[in-house]
Amino acid sequence: AGKETRNAYQLNEYNIKPHIREPTTFDRGGAATCIDNSFSNMEVLSACVGDTYLSDHTFQVCKFDIKRRNYSPNNIKLFENCLITETWDSLKSKTNFNEKFKICSGIFYTYYNECFPEQLVKENVVSKNGLHIGSGSLHLQLCEMSKMEKCINNPIYTDKFKKIKEKIQRRSGLR
């Protein structure tokens, strides 16, 4: 097996998969390669590549459902109370360590999932440290429009494409 196959296999062992499989760089001769990679162990909802017309590299947009758990003080107290009040009777009759561990971890994770529910992170929010978590909606629009090459001669299309491109350039400080 080649080096690429071995690397892909090693990443796959950790459930890490590529999200972009189409070319991300184009040279003057027209050759295309996928060198700007995006990997994660999360399920991607959508991924696309679009041209910024600013360099030989394209931009990539990957959309994920990001979830977090609610670790509020009340939920922590509820979790502690659940563990304290659990009788653990189902463990007493078992002699095999593996069976006890399986039962114990099952009880623990049942309470954990009940007391700390997963919540979907909302798009377009600013986190406590000031980082913007956004949907990349402008980039997604540009990506979709760049795929509609048949419309390039349509003045409505080119005007809209130009406006979205200018917004992205302003937001990224390129203008």
- Structure-token pair, residue 164: 């979205």
Per-residue pLDDT band for 133 (boundaries 50, 70, 90) equals very low
> Of 138 and 46, which is predicted with more confidence?
46
Residue 80 has pLDDT above 80, yes or no: yes
Q: Are residues 18 and 46 in the same domain?
A: yes
Average pLDDT, the chain: 75
Q: Are residues 38 and 103 in the same domain?
A: no
Q: Are residues 92 and 166 in the same domain?
A: no
> Of 80 and 146, which is predicted with more confidence?
80
Highest-scoring range by mean pLDDT, 78-82, 143-147, 157-161: 78-82
Residue type, 34: C
Range of the domain at 23: 3-66+121-171
What's the chain's Rg over C-alpha atoms?
Answer: 24
- What is the mean pLDDT of the segment spanning 38-66? 75
Residue 56's nearest CA partner among 24, 17, 11, 96 is 24
* Domain final residue, candidates 103, 120, 137: 120
Which letter does DSSP use for residue 15 in this model?
T
Q: Are residues 46 and 126 in the same domain?
A: yes
